[in-house]
Amino acid sequence: MTAPPAPPTTPSRSLDPASRGLPRPLKKGVLRVVPLGGLGEVGRNMAVLEIDGKLLLIDCGVLFPEDHQPGVDLILPDFSYIADRLDDVIALVLTHGHEDHIGAVPFLLRLRPDIPLVGSTLTLALIEAKLKEHRIQPYTLAVTEGQRERLGPFDCEFVAVNHSIPDALAVAVRTTAGTVLHTGDFKMDQLPLDGRITDLRAFARLGEEGVDLFMVDSTNAEVPGFTTSEREITPVLDRVFAGAERRLIVASFASHVHRVQQVMDTAAKHGRKVALVGRSMVRNMGIASELGYLRVPPGVLVDVKEVDRLPDAKVVLMCTGSQGEPMAALSRMANRDHRVEVGRGDTVVLASSLIPGNENAVFRVINGLMRLGATVVHSGNARVHVSGHASAGELLYCYNIVRPRNVMPVHGEVRHLIANADLAVRTGVPRERVLLTDDGSVVDLEGGVAKVVGQVPCGLVYVDGSSVGSITDADLKDRRVLGDEGFVSVFVVVDAASGKVVVGPEIHARGVAEDDEVLQGVRPKIADALADAIGKGAYDNHQLQQVVRRVMGRWAGTTLRRRPMIIPIVIET
């Protein structure tokens, strides 16, 4: 009989920061690690390492907003922890070129433009193109796997890891307090398209040397087994291309060079031309091609302007929008707001997995495309995408190779972090040495032991148009109320001497599905309440506005079963 699986274990640290206070000043020779993003969420990855007064940053990414954050463009890490210590920052190490790891770099460099950026050739090329749009000329240091660089008190060794973008790196940081191994995003594809595998020999060597803190990608920790190889996608794409009657539209991340390579190779096989659609897709693939990471088959790539002159059966459009982003090419096609008009017989392929929180947006795009008559192929009905993250079997393999003294799961939602922590414990890492932390947790490494020693303020920083950090949670709540419940304004002019309403109440509503006649039923109630309040000595304008708000709110709640935003305007004569 097969033994039942072991029950989940509980690591020693809680994710609840409520009981933690500010940490004590850091002692000399102790290494402090503070994650500023990426824990409890999939995005805005950033960590700060500090020893002897110097700081090393690892990654600086963005998080994309969800439906309950209306109007927000991006969400940044909270830089307040390091804002007054930017001169102590030795460098920013970038593990790879995905937006959730490099997207916030321009906002950090606005605070100090000369922070050195360290990363692989492709990663630096992608961030340099982004910074050019912000008119920032960065200081960069390109590194390759196997290279070691001394950055102040931090001795950094870079290790090749396989991911869904070329040139990804893990980084081992040696300090006088011990060694930290940060995986970045990785998986263990044994047959990668570019032949560049995760360097497990380097992981083993570092393990023999001694890894004091292992910071491990948690995204797929709940998924059993091993992540499927990228090569498994090619036969599926081949079948989709063979069965497509008219145009093929393939949506992917603008940085997924491997997927674009597969699409181009398959298009060449089936005699189709490929046009890149979307500014970021054109920019990134241009960079990848120039640097040799993308090999474009001869005669396959055409400008999108030439597509209209080609037969539909000879066209492939490679675009952005696989996550339902409202301004991306695919979403605009679904809304008939793009030069490319999707029609009956077209085949659309969403070559990406769903990022948690994007499900509704993606399904809206799928429904919109199918309403237009397109056939939509996605990860729910065909294997057109594989993850770029290590599953549980791969994580177990790494724990057994590295044998770390302490483990700190990173990059993932709470459930991913807990699942990863459980894997570490099952491989023999002592329960008290597995740290379940969240953004702003302060971890000190001293004498080979890592402990949570406090919590620093670490909130969400919203980018809204040209505004950075000005939008608060209260503003977002107001936006949600406006979107869900509507808006009512009440204008009243009162005679302060007599307490009588001279003009109004005039009531105007937006987003409230009721006739104006229905709203007029509350007018005498407002007038009576104002007269009563003035009669009792309430002459302050703010007090009278509150009277109007309470009466209007109570009436809307009981009569309309709604809680609209109410703006009272009371003028006294």
pLDDT at 232 over 50: yes
Q: Which of 319, 341, 313 is nearest to 241 (CA)?
A: 313
Q: Are 453 and 24 in contact (CB under 8 A)?
A: yes
Out of 82-96, 141-155, 513-527, 557-571, least confident range: 513-527
DSSP-assigned states of every residue in 308-372: GGS-GGGEEEEES-TT--TTSHHHHHHTT-SSS---TT-EEEE-SPPPTT-HHHHHHHHHHHHHT
Q: Which of 450, 446, 426, 449 is nearest to 436 (CA)?
A: 450
pLDDT at 512 over 80: no
- The residue whose two tokens read 């060694």 is 179
Give the pLDDT confidence of 389-399 residue by residue, as tens digits. Answer: 999 999 999 99
Helix (H, G, I), strand (E, B) or coil at 41: strand
Give the pLDDT confidence of 25-55 residue by residue, as tens digits. Answer: 999 999 999 999 999 888 899 999 999 999 9
What local confidence, expressed as pLDDT, does residue 3 receive?
Answer: 40
State mean pLDDT over 183-199.
Answer: 93
Out of 185-189, 212-216, 340-344, 414-418, least confident range: 340-344
Hey, what are 467's tokens? Answer: 């505004």
Query: What residues pair up with 91 in beta bridges, in sequence order?
Result: 56
pLDDT at 358 over 50: yes
pLDDT at 176 over 50: yes
Burial 150-159 (b: 16+ CB within 10 A, else e): ebbbbebbbb
What local confidence, expressed as pLDDT, does residue 215 receive?
Answer: 97
Find the helix or strand (DSSP H, E) in which 283 lies: helix 279-290
What local confidence, expressed as pLDDT, does residue 339 receive?
Answer: 80
pLDDT at 466 over 70: no
38 φ/ψ sector (left φ>0, alpha ψ -120 to 50, else beta): left
pLDDT at 536 over 80: no
What local confidence, expressed as pLDDT, does residue 542 receive?
Answer: 72
- Average pLDDT of the chain? 85
CA distances from 410 to 27, 71, 132, 352 (A): 25, 28, 30, 22
Q: Are 43 and 60 in contact (CB under 8 A)?
A: no
Q: Which of 164, 149, 124 is nearest to 259 (CA)?
A: 164
Hey, what are 419's tokens? Answer: 């699942």
The separation between the first and the last C-alpha atoms of the chain, rounded to the nearest angstrom, is 88
What local confidence, expressed as pLDDT, does residue 207 receive?
Answer: 96
Q: Hey, which of 87-91, 534-538, 551-555 has the most confident mean pLDDT?
A: 87-91
What local confidence, expressed as pLDDT, does residue 331 receive?
Answer: 80
Backbone angles phi, psi at 541, to 5 degrees: -60, -40
pLDDT at 2 over 60: no
Q: Are 510 and 516 in contact (CB under 8 A)?
A: no
DSSP-assigned states of every residue in 70-84: TT--EEE--GGGTGG
Torsion of CA 69, 71, 73, 79, to 10 degrees: -60
pLDDT at 503 over 80: no
- Cα–Cα distance, 168 to 194 (Å, whole number): 12
Give the pLDDT confidence of 263-291 residue by residue, as tens digits. Answer: 999 999 999 999 998 888 999 999 999 99
- Cα–Cα distance, 330 to 321 (Å, whole number): 5
What local confidence, expressed as pLDDT, does residue 67 receive?
Answer: 58
Name the residue type at position 572: E
Helix (H, G, I), strand (E, B) or coil at 216: strand
Neighbour count for residue 428 (Cβ, 10 Å):
9
Hey, what are 478's tokens? Answer: 């107001």
pTM score = 0.80
Handedness of CA 355, 358, 360, 364 (dihedral sign): negative
Give the pLDDT confidence of 309-328 residue by residue, as tens digits. Answer: 899 899 999 988 777 666 67
- Cα–Cα distance, 5 to 11 (Å, whole number): 18
State mean pLDDT over 503-525.
Answer: 70
Find the helix or strand (DSSP H, E) in which 243 lies: helix 233-243
Residues in the chain, total: 573
State mean pLDDT over 424-439.
Answer: 95
**Alpha-helical runs (H) found in 403-540:** 414-426, 473-485, 516-519, 523-535
Hey, what are 17's tokens? Answer: 């920061």
- Cα–Cα distance, 22 to 441 (Å, whole number): 9
Helix (H, G, I), strand (E, B) or coil at 102: helix
**Where residue 341 falls among pLDDT bands split at 50, 70, 90?**
confident
pLDDT at 494 over 60: yes
State mean pLDDT over 207-216.
Answer: 97
What local confidence, expressed as pLDDT, does residue 17 receive?
Answer: 54
Neighbour count for residue 541 (Cβ, 10 Å):
15
State mean pLDDT over 357-372.
Answer: 80
Domains and CATH numbers, the chain: 31-226+387-459 (3.60.15.10), 230-377 (3.40.50.10710), 473-572 (3.10.20.580)
- Cα–Cα distance, 412 to 507 (Å, whole number): 48
- Residues contacting 94, CB < 8 A, separation 6+: 59, 60, 101, 102, 105, 117, 118, 119, 123, 124, 127
Neighbour count for residue 100 (Cβ, 10 Å):
23
pLDDT at 428 over 90: yes
- Cα–Cα distance, 127 to 571 (Å, whole number): 54
Hey, what are 175's tokens? Answer: 């300090």
pLDDT at 7 over 50: no
Greater confidence (363 vs 190) lies with 190
Greater confidence (85 vs 507) lies with 85
Q: Which of 68, 65, 128, 71 is nearest to 94 (CA)?
A: 128
- Cα–Cα distance, 513 to 525 (Å, whole number): 21
- Residues contacting 383, CB < 8 A, separation 6+: 228, 232, 233, 236
Greater confidence (367 vs 536) lies with 367
Q: Are 112 and 504 in contact (CB under 8 A)?
A: no
State mean pLDDT over 185-208.
Answer: 94
**Where residue 334 falls among pLDDT bands split at 50, 70, 90?**
confident
Q: How many whole angstroms from its chain centre is CA 15?
A: 20
